[in-house]
Amino acid sequence: MISPQTVAILILNRNQAEYTRDCLVSLQQIDYPSYRILVIDNGSTDDSLRRVAQQFPTVDFLWLKENLGVAGGRNAGLREALRKEPAYVFFLDNDTLVAPDSLTRLVNRMNTHAKIGAVQPKIYFASPPDRICTFGGKFYRRISHYRHPESGHCDSVKTQVPTEIDIVSGCAGLMRAIVFQEIGLLDETYSPYCHEDVDWSLRMRNAGYCLMVEPAAVIWHRISSAPIADAAKLRELAKAHILFLRFHTRFFDLPLSIVWVSFHMVRRYLFPVIGRHNQEAVKGILHGIWLGLRQQRRPIEKPSGISGITLSPTPPAAVSDRSKKKILLGGVLGPLDAGPTRVYETLLKSRFAEYFQVRFLDLQFARNVGDFERLRPGKFVRLLRSLFLMMYHLLRNRYATVCIPLSTNRNAFLKDSLFLWLGVLMGLPVIILEHGTNIPALYEKAGPMLRWFMRTTLQQATRCIVLAECLKFNFEPFLPADRIVSVYLGIDSVRQISFYSRP
């Protein structure tokens, strides 16, 4: 067994010995004291890497007889490296150049908290060297899509701060070795390449780990920005998109995800090759879609016997800031000087806004008190706009809770119910904030269909919050007592604030 802080650096090569040599030369300059380099030759058809191996006697080489793809090749290297029980594994593409202090900075960031599962450096393009290749990926779960928001941009204030991310790039990423024992190796279903890093990142996040980018650690990537026209590459990209859609899309997100992924593949891959009259590429894309629909998922291997290390229980500031739960809060603010307006003004000025990242959605449709029960075309337009705006925010951000008010005249109840059901369909816990109205009275006056709809709607609520004990009667006919809580208007205690988060 070697030092508990040792890093196993894994570099995958296939017929690119010159790139690999340059990468190894840059690694000779790093200042981290304890590391081992393993180069995996993924079935190269030339012998150029063997000549390079003679120049680096301290580097280990693993020679594979055939091309196992990115996931398969890296898994072969992982099995070999994990036998020596390193603390960390550093995946590195062979066409990268590493800054001397990058590995030290990555390890230092990892050591700040035990629940950081992986850290990636800030990765620039090699040409132009001031343009960011990736600063970590963002995953949009509602449409099963991911992207690298900072790619192609120059540095900004945003890219100078350690940040929690959704996806660690497969180009360069430091992983905690113990994580492989918990969630398994890379998924070889994606072989030969594409999406295996995204899949593994999401599995890591689902296991409760956070992923981070360390901007002080810098790497340059010699990647081509030319459009993809090769039929074989387009086939594998299309296949990977379909596999990812199948493996990581929740049932209720499937319709929207299918629409988005179809649009993305047509716009990004199909239209460009049709414009160039490349029939082979078109066939490759269609063949890839067919393969993605038919291929079965391979079992994910879990290695055993990996040692772990216990680290400081105090999370870094960046994780603490990002760990605030996001709440989408619907409500009403002016210009009407009514009770609900005062409720939300007080709520947003209380400690509630300190404990959560709050996105407020104004659901005020009436011009004045006398306009509450009137039906006007302008109200329908505003309603549709607000529903689309809410859907946009839910798709764009990962919210912990949706908090919706509920009114007690019939039209307003139906309007508020649409927002409640949108949160439910998006798979989020919905909390009803009731500010003093009489729901049982509306229920008694309603017909059979409206009564059924009211019962069904109210039962979807994860929790109902009222502003005083005497107002619990609004929900007692519909919900068990443990889902109805009373919270004072100012909500200045931590216990009261906790009622707004998932139970």
Domain contains 406 = yes
Q: Both 349 and 446 in a single domain?
A: yes
Q: What number is the average pLDDT over the span 402-419?
A: 81
Per-residue confidence (pLDDT) for residue 94, from 0 to 100: 93
Domain contains 130 = yes
Positive or negative, the CA dihedral 279, 193, 39, 101 is: positive
Per-residue confidence (pLDDT) for residue 334, from 0 to 100: 55
Q: Both 246 and 330 in a single domain?
A: no
Q: Both 142 and 195 in a single domain?
A: yes
Q: Could you give the CA distance from residue 138 to residue 398 in angstroms, rounded to a whole number?
A: 11
Residue at which a domain ends, from 226, 243, 275: 226
Beta carbons within 10 angstroms of residue 265's beta carbon: 19
Mean pLDDT of the chain: 83
Q: Among 1-5, 154-158, 303-307, 391-395, which is the least confidently predicted range? A: 1-5
Residue 490 has pLDDT above 80, yes or no: no
Confidence of residue 11 (pLDDT cuts 50, 70, 90): very high
Of 111-115, 168-172, 305-309, which has the strongest mean pLDDT?
A: 168-172
Q: Could you give the CA distance from residue 24 to residue 97 in angstroms, rounded to a whole number?
A: 8
Q: Choose among 418, 144, 389: nearest CA to 263.
A: 144
Q: Both 217 and 341 in a single domain?
A: no
Residue 443 has pLDDT above 80, yes or no: yes
Angle at CA 463, nearest 5°, toward 460 and 465? 130
pTM above 0.75, yes or no: no
| Nearest-10 crossing angle of helices 254-265, 231-248 | 170
Confidence of residue 431 (pLDDT cuts 50, 70, 90): confident
Per-residue confidence (pLDDT) for residue 354, from 0 to 100: 66
Residue 112 has pLDDT above 80, yes or no: yes
Q: Choose among 395, 393, 397, 387: nearest CA to 365.
A: 387
Positive or negative, the CA dihedral 360, 415, 365, 377 is: positive
Q: How many domains does the chain have?
A: 3
Q: Both 422 and 472 in a single domain?
A: yes
The CATH number given to whatever domain includes residue 390 is 3.40.50.2000
Q: What is the DSSP letter of 188?
A: G
φ and ψ of 391, to 5 deg: -60, -40
Per-residue confidence (pLDDT) for residue 99, from 0 to 100: 95
Domain contains 331 = yes
User: Is beta strand 172-176 parallel, antiparallel or unpaired with respect to 116-125?
Assistant: antiparallel
Contact 17, 47 (CB under 8 A): no
Domain contains 485 = yes
Q: Among 76-90, 101-115, 460-474, which is the least confidently predicted range? A: 460-474
The CATH number given to whatever domain includes residue 43 is 3.90.550.60
Between 185 and 334, name the one with better pLDDT: 185
User: CA dihedral defined by 439, 444, 448, 452, rounded to 10 degrees?
Assistant: 30
Angle at CA 162, nearest 5°, toward 156 and 166? 100
Inter-CA distances, 108 with 86, 92, 322, 465, Å: 16, 18, 19, 43
Beta carbons within 10 angstroms of residue 444's beta carbon: 9
Residue 256 has pLDDT above 80, yes or no: yes
Q: Both 215 and 257 in a single domain?
A: no
Residue 217 has pLDDT above 90, yes or no: yes
Q: Both 34 and 151 in a single domain?
A: yes
φ and ψ of 456, to 5 deg: -65, -40
Using CB atoms within 10 Å of the CB of residue 450, give its burial: 0 to 12 exposed, 13 to 18 middle, 19+ buried. Answer: middle
Q: Both 169 and 268 in a single domain?
A: no
Contact 55, 61 (CB under 8 A): no
Inter-CA distances, 360 with 245, 319, 326, 327, 402, Å: 31, 23, 11, 8, 10
Domain contains 308 = no
Residue 275 has pLDDT above 90, yes or no: no
Between 408 and 472, name the one with better pLDDT: 472
Look up tokens 């994580």; give the residue.
Answer: 179
Q: Both 269 and 363 in a single domain?
A: no
Look up tokens 């049982």; give the residue.
Answer: 440
Q: Could you give the CA distance from residue 70 to residue 237 in angstroms, rounded to a whole number?
A: 13
Residue at which a domain ends, from 226, 255, 271: 226
Q: Could you give the CA distance from residue 5 to residue 32 in angstroms, rounded to a whole number?
A: 10
Would you state the structure tokens that stand for residue 216, as one six-digit string? 């002080």
Domain contains 136 = yes
Residue 496 has pLDDT above 50, yes or no: no
Confidence of residue 435 (pLDDT cuts 50, 70, 90): low
Q: Both 151 and 187 in a single domain?
A: yes
Per-residue confidence (pLDDT) for residue 2, from 0 to 100: 46
**Percent of the chain whose predicted confidence (pLDDT) is above 70:** 83
Q: Could you give the CA distance from residue 42 to residue 65 in angstroms, rounded to a whole number?
A: 7
Q: Both 250 and 369 in a single domain?
A: no
3-state SS track over 229-283 = CCHHHHHHHHHHHHHHHHHHCCHHHHHHHHHHHHHHHHHHHHHHHHHCCCHHHHH
Domain around 236:
231-294
Residue at which a domain ends, from 172, 204, 226: 226
Beta carbons within 10 angstroms of residue 165's beta carbon: 24
Domain contains 272 = yes
Q: Both 331 and 378 in a single domain?
A: yes
Domain contains 317 = no
What is the distance, to the nearest Å, from the Cα of residue 151 to the centroid of all Cα atoms in its chain? 17
Confidence of residue 306 (pLDDT cuts 50, 70, 90): low
